[in-house]
Amino acid sequence: MTSGALARVETELPGLPEALRRVGEVILGDPAEAARSTIIALAERAGSSPATVTRFCRAFGFSGYAELRVALATETGRAAQAGWGAGVGHEIGPDDPLDTAIEVMAAADTRLIQDTAAQLDLDTVARVADAVVAAPRVLLVGVSTSGDVARMLEGRLRRIGVPGWSAGDAHVALAEAALLKEGDVAVGISHRGRTREVMEALAEAGSHGALTVAVTSFPRSPLAELADLVLTTASRETTFRLGGLAAVHSQVFVLDAVYVAVAQRTYERTNEAFERTISAVESHRVERG
């Protein structure tokens, strides 16, 4: 992982062992300083050892501290150039003016999408899109807010002629998954990757030969471990928007990337579908007065 490092550290920090968590806290506290520090200096600031810092680096996919420093320097430089700092990490108080709250939200969401794009594995997106194009059936499973995201992708895919179904009920999801076969695709959406209903449906689909895809902010989660392919999302919590609520924009962005890749691969069919569906609903649009 050479991009999106800060987002990944922020997302996974609560689940790290204490020693690694201290290293992550120091890095998130001042990423630019961490990019300039030696491994010894960083270890001292975290109250740990260079060996612990090395373990931290490897836990996030880096070969060592030198590679992590390069990634941090790149990200902090890009963030400064784009002006990401303003509003990021600020809390929204009950008496804050609405324009202040909106500024904090806009900064957090802008950074969230940038973090998600930076860490997105394009090869995996392409493989998922290829499988969706060829699949007789595509099953999308999510519950709560992730279920809403699944239904959004279902609508996008069906609008361009892709046979997709979403399921948020555990029994429906399992029944649909049991009917899948080799060549079909099952996509499970879960912020933390620990939603039992989503995991069970993906496991059922995989047992019948379907390609399984996990969409999660935690690449080492149980859902990710049982999936054939993993698409990672970022999550940037703000006041009143925690956990899965904070990850919704990221989930939509990742699945929109899959949708666009599918549309590219079915360009002529997609354009024909758009023309036909636009024509079908045109009579329900009110003319300007």
Q: Could you tell me the CATH number of the domain that includes residue 55?
A: 1.10.10.10
**Residue 43, domain extent:** 1-84
Residue at 111 is within a domain = no
Residue 80: predicted pLDDT: 55
Residue 79: predicted pLDDT: 59
Residue 277 has pLDDT above 60, yes or no: yes
State whether 2 and 140 are in the same domain: no
Mean pLDDT calculated for residue range 46-67: 91
CB burial readout 119-153, b (16+ within 10 A) else e: bbbeebbebbbebbbebebbbbbbbebbbbbbbbb
State whether 48 and 138 are in the same domain: no
Which residues contact residue 32 at a Cβ distance below 8 angstroms, ignoring those fewer than 6 apart? 72, 73, 76
Mean pLDDT calculated for residue range 163-171: 94
Separation CA 129–CA 71 (nearest Å): 28
State whether 126 and 79 are in the same domain: no
Residue 246: predicted pLDDT: 67
Q: Please state which of the ranges 46-60, 97-111, 202-216, 233-247 shows the lowest mean pLDDT.
A: 233-247
State whether 128 and 267 are in the same domain: yes
State whether 145 and 39 are in the same domain: no
Residue at 151 is within a domain = yes
Residue at 114 is within a domain = no
Examine the fold and report which residue of 84, 109, 136 is the final residue of a domain before the chain moves on: 84
Specify whether the CB–CB gap between 174 and 199 falls below 8 A. no
Mean pLDDT calculated for residue range 10-19: 86
State whether 232 and 158 are in the same domain: yes
Residue at 94 is within a domain = no
Residue 189: predicted pLDDT: 97
Residue 1: predicted pLDDT: 42
Residue 87 has pLDDT above 80, yes or no: no
Residue 49: predicted pLDDT: 93
What's the pTM value of the predicted model, to 2 decimals? 0.74
State whether 131 and 76 are in the same domain: no
Residue 84 has pLDDT above 70, yes or no: no
Domain harbouring 188, CATH code: 3.40.50.10490
Q: How many folded domains does the chain comprise?
A: 2
